Amino acid sequence: MQFSLAHLSDLHLPPPAEAMSMRDRNLKSVLAKLSWHRKRKRIYTLHPAAALLADIAAQAPDHIALTGDITNFGHPAEFVAARRYLQQIGAPHDLSVVPGNHDRTVPLPWQDSLEQWQDWMCSDAEEAVLSEGGFPFLRRRGDLAIIGVDSAILTPVFKAYGEIGMTQMHRLAELLEATGRQGLFRAVLIHHPPTMSLGGERKALRDRAALCAVLAQHGAELMISGHHHITRLDGVQGPSYRIPSFGVPAALASKARPEWAGWHLHRIERVESGWHLTSALRRYNPIRNVFEPGGEWSFRLPVRTDAMTW
């Protein structure tokens, strides 16, 4: 079995005009719009967008994962516009999405916000009972289990931390255990990384210790996240080996803040001893307006000893 998974994050799509009103009563939204006008609109543009879609098509991944921050202010018009862009990236069967903190900047009814992306954020019909609906969702593509976790919560001004919560954490443990016993390759999608990174507690996952405890007991084969706009590889301790945990650059960063745009391509192969994972960075070249190879990592991951035979 061979499978490839594309990972992109933090699109920060340029907002439509109707999202730019400065008459908000929400201070966090106003400050986010000031930040957009002051600097972010020169960093996150659609200039790399055509090159990104062309490069993804050329690499022909079997599935695409998008780990949040698709919008900037969480305005209703942004969710509608983002839905149109998601349709360009991939059909709901071929693309899985989890939200980021920018997608929950202000309190909005579900129907005015994330419902627009529901088709890309739901479990397969046959897995819905196991996942109990909502997050975490579970999608199975061959021997790949895609588990989407929601870490995006409303936060005070100048804060961008995340939290999974005990209800999700309990369901995540059950999903990891069930899919592990089935001998599947488990890829967990989350916006906030499971380990401390840039920005300290102000931007960290608040219940990362509880998440790491779940992973230490039940395991996973791959963790992928966004949030910090950098290529980053960490190891999270599993039951018998360290789980590769990848952060990825912002997919549409047309200036190096802190990196140029990029995305990751994970190639998964089932071998006699378990799994062979090859992870590659596709880095944006602004001069040529193309994405190019930018580095590669390789891992051998054993299959669970109590997994179903194959």
pLDDT tier, 101 (very low <50, low <70, confident <90, very high otherwise): very high
Could you tell me the pLDDT band of residue 196, with boundaries at 50, 70 and 90? confident
- Residue 170, classed as helix, strand or coil, is helix
pLDDT at 85 over 70: yes
According to DSSP, the β-strands at 262-271 and 274-285 are: antiparallel
Model pLDDT, residue 81 = 96
The pLDDT of residue 127 is 63
- Please tell me the pTM assigned to this model: 0.94
pLDDT band at 309 (very low <50, low <70, confident <90, very high): very low
Taken in order of first residue, the domains within the chain and their CATH numbers are 2-14+24-302 (3.60.21.10)
Report residue 260 as tokens. 């140029």
Banded model confidence at residue 310, pLDDT cuts 50, 70, 90: very low
Least confident of 3-17, 178-192, 246-260, 279-293: 246-260
> If you average pLDDT over every residue of the chain, what do you get?
92
What is the residue whose two structure tokens read 């549409």?
Answer: 252
pLDDT tens column, 10-28: 999 999 888 877 666 677 8
Place of tokens 């490069």: 55
DSSP 117-148: GGGGSS--GGGHHHHTSSSSEEEEETTEEEEE
Q: pLDDT tens digit string along 217-275?
A: 999 999 999 999 999 999 999 998 999 999 999 999 988 877 899 999 999 999 988 99
- Please give the pLDDT value at position 303: 81
Given the structure tokens 């952060």, which residue do they identify?
247
Structure token pair of residue 117: 């992306």
Instruction: Provide Rg for the chain, Cα atoms.
Output: 18
List of residues 6+ apart from 56 with CB closer than 8 A: 6, 8, 64, 89, 263
